[in-house]
Structure 1
Amino acid sequence: MNTKQQLKALAEARRGVLVPGAFNALSARVVADLGFEALYVTGAGVTNMWFGLPDQAFMGLTDIADHTARIRDAVELPLIVDADTGFGNALNTYHAVRTLERAGADCIQLEDQVSPKRCGHFHGKDVVETAEMVGKIRAACDARRDAGLLVMARTDAAAVHGFEAAVERAHRFAEAGADILFVEAVTTAEQIRALPGLLPRPQLMNLVIGGKTPITDAGELADLGYGFVLYANAALQGAVAGMQRALGQLRDTRRIDEDPAVVAPFAERQRLVGKPGWDALEKQYG
C-alpha cells in the first residue's frame, strides 16, 4: 500500500494509533526511528520552533507546505498535515489542498475557527458558520488530484457553543465528505467516552500536554474506537526541556561531556540524519 492507503487503513481500524507531531525533518526522523506508524505535521510546532511565536495564525501556507515537503523527503510514514483554516475562504482552501497534496500530504486537516485562528486549547476562540465550513470541506474534497487523499475536519465549537453543537457540526462535516472527524478540546472524560458512539466516521482525539482535554491512556481510547490519538507537540515540549537541561548545565558548569542523559551522542546524531548512507553514496560516485 502507498502511504495514503496505509493511513486510511489505520483510520478504519479504529485502534487508537498514536500519532506524534513533527515540527521539522529531524523530529520526523526520530518519530519514524522509534517505530510510530504515522506522524502529524504540526502547525503549532512549526510556528513555535521556526518563528518563536504562539500558535495564533502566524504560519502561512508556504511555511507548512515547505515543511511538509522536507518531511516527506525525510520519512516514508503517512503524513497528516495541519492546514489551519485553509488560509482563507473555500477558494483558498481549494488552493491549499492542491499545494499540500503536491508537497506530500496524505491527509489534510481543516478547522472551523474564525481567522486569525489560535491554538485549540487557548481561550478566546470563535468559529465560522457551519455552512461556511461545509463549503470549505467540499472544496477540499473537490481539489484532490488523488482520490486517496484524506480530509480531516476539525471543529472547535465545543468551547464556543458546547459539546452537543460540536457533535452536530461534526455530523455536517461528515455529510460534506470529511473522511476523519476531530472534535477539539473536549473537557471531560464523559465527552471522550461518548464521541465514538455519536459520530459515523473514524475520529482523532488530541491530547495536549497541559491543555484542556484530560490525558487518557491510548489503550482506553483504542477500546473506545478512536482511529488516532494525537500528541501534536510532545516532541516539541520534550525538545524544549532537553535544550533547557543541556544549556542550563553548560551555563552552570561551563562544559558538557558526551553524557546520553544530557545530550544525544555525536554518533547517534549522525545516524539519525543518515550519514552512513551518504558516506556510501560518496564512495559509489567517487
Structure 2
Amino acid sequence: MARWTDRRQRFRSVLTGESCVSPASVYDPMTARLARDIGYEIGILAGSTASMTVLGAPDHIVLTLTEFADQAARIGRASDLPLLVDADHGYGNALNVMRTVEELEAAGVSALSIEDTDLPAPFGSEGKARLIPLEEGVGKMRAAMAAKPDPDLVVCGRTSAAQIAGADECRRRVAAYTEAGVDAIFLVGVPDKDCLDIVSGATDLPIVLGGAGPELKNPEYLASRNVRVLLTGHQPIAAAMNAAYETLLALRNGGKASDLPGLPSKDRIAVALDEDRYAGHICDFLNG
C-alpha cells in the first residue's frame, strides 16, 4: 500500500543516517499521534506494552499474533509515525515467523524484530532466559526475509546473547544473522562499551540497541558504532497507568473534577483525537 511506503522509507532513512535517535514508546492511536506531534522520527510498539494495553497482562507471551497485529494496525491507521514492533520469537518456529512477517507487513508496520530467545519460557527455566540454538535462529531470520513481500519493510535480527551468554556468543550470532540477510541488528542487554565494540565489529548493518548499560547512553558515541536507534524504555504507559489510578482514587475519595491536577489541555486532547480532521469531515459530509 502506498501509504506504508513513505513511512517505511522514512524509517530506513534513520537506519542509513549518521545519527542515533530514540523512538517514542507508543501503545495506542492516541500516543502515536502525540508522539508525531512532538516530533519523534519513529515509534516502537513493544510486546510488553501491547500485552498491557490489550490484555492487562504481563509480558509472558500470552498475547497472540492476531491481537498484536490488530493493535499495530490501529496505531498505523491513526498516525503516519513509522513504527518498529517487537514481534518476539515470531510466535513459534520458522514457519510461524513467516506468517508473523506477512501479518505485520499487512498491518502497516515499518520494521519488526525477530529474536532468538527461547519463548515462551519453557517448563523448568525458573525465570532464566535461554537462547535457541544458533542454527534455529538463523533459520528464523532467513524465513523472515523470505516472507516479506515489501523490500522496504525492515527485519531486525534480535538477540539478547550479550546478557545471556556473553560478548563472544553475541558476536557469533550477530555475524550469522548478518550473513542470513537481515536488514538490521537489534541488541538487548549490552552491558558496556567493551562488549559493544566486540559485537558491533561483527556486522556492517545498522544497530538497534535496547536495555543497554549505563555507559551506553551517549548518542554521539553510539552513532560512531553504527547504532542508529537507542531505546529508552516504556515509561509512557507506566505514567499513564499511574495517572489513571491517581485520578480514579481522587474522584472516589470525593475530589472535584475541576481540582484534579495534570489534566490535558483542550489543544492536547484535540491532537490526540485528531479533532481537526473529524471537524472537516463533519463540515464536508454532514452539514448539508
| Post-superposition offset of 1:251 | 4.7
- Partner letter of residue 257 of structure 2? I
Q: 1:250 to 1:219 in 2, by over 3 A?
A: farther
- Partner letter of residue 36 of structure 1? Y
**2:188 equivalent to 1:187:** no
Q: 1:278 to 1:4 in 2, by over 3 A?
A: same
**2:247 equivalent to 1:246:** yes
Q: Which has the higher contact order (CA 8 A, sep 6+)?
A: 1
SS at 1:171 equivalent: helix
* Counterpart position of 2:265: 265
Decide whether the 8 Å contact of 1:82 with 1:110 is kept in 2.
Answer: yes
Deviations 1:199-227 (A, max 9, x none): 321001114xxxx7326243443344311
Indicate which of 86, 89, 97 corresponds to 1:85.
Answer: 89
Decide whether the 8 Å contact of 2:11 with 2:82 is kept in 1.
Answer: yes
Question: Please, which moves more after superposition, 7-16 or 170-179?
Answer: 7-16
* Counterpart position of 2:256: 255
| Post-superposition offset of 1:128 | 0.6
Q: How does 1:217-228 map to 2 (within 5 A)?
A: 217-228=218-229
| In structure 2, distance between residues paired with 1:140 and 1:225 | 23
Indicate which of 198, 202, 207 corresponds to 2:206.
Answer: 202
Decide whether the 8 Å contact of 2:171 with 2:198 is kept in 1.
Answer: no
Query: Scaled by the length of structure 1, what TM-score is found?
Result: 0.88
* Counterpart position of 2:130: 126
* Counterpart position of 1:34: 38
Decide whether the 8 Å contact of 1:125 with 1:159 is kept in 2.
Answer: no
* Counterpart position of 1:148: 152
| Post-superposition offset of 1:60 | 1.2
| Post-superposition offset of 1:74 | 0.9
Decide whether the 8 Å contact of 2:138 with 2:176 is kept in 1.
Answer: yes
Q: 1:258 to 1:102 in 2, by over 3 A?
A: farther
- Partner letter of residue 223 of structure 2? A
Q: 1:184 to 1:285 in 2, by over 3 A?
A: same
SS at 1:231 equivalent: coil
- Partner letter of residue 234 of structure 2? N
Q: 1:158 to 1:65 in 2, by over 3 A?
A: same
**2:27 equivalent to 1:23:** yes
| In structure 2, distance between residues paired with 1:232 and 1:96 | 24
| In structure 2, distance between residues paired with 1:237 and 1:2 | 31
**2:159 equivalent to 1:158:** no
Deviations 1:44-85 (A, max 9, x none): 101122222211111110011101111111111211121110
> Identity rate of aligned residues, in percent?
26
| Post-superposition offset of 1:117 | 5.0
Deviations 1:107-145 (A, max 9, x none): 121000112059xxx951111101111111111111111
| In structure 2, distance between residues paired with 1:19 and 1:114 | 26
Query: Scaled by the length of structure 2, what TM-score is found?
Result: 0.88
* Counterpart position of 2:54: 50
* Counterpart position of 1:275: 275
Decide whether the 8 Å contact of 2:25 with 2:233 is kept in 1.
Answer: yes
| In structure 1, distance between residues paired with 2:244 and 2:149 | 41
* Counterpart position of 1:213: 213
What are structure 1's unaligned runs of at least 5 residues?
A: none
SS at 1:110 equivalent: strand
Decide whether the 8 Å contact of 1:85 with 1:117 is kept in 2.
Answer: no
* Counterpart position of 2:70: 66
- Partner letter of residue 176 of structure 2? R
Give the length in aligned residue pairs: 278
Deviations 1:215-246 (A, max 9, x none): 62434433443110123412212222333443
Question: Please, which moves more after superposition, 29-38 or 47-56?
Answer: 47-56
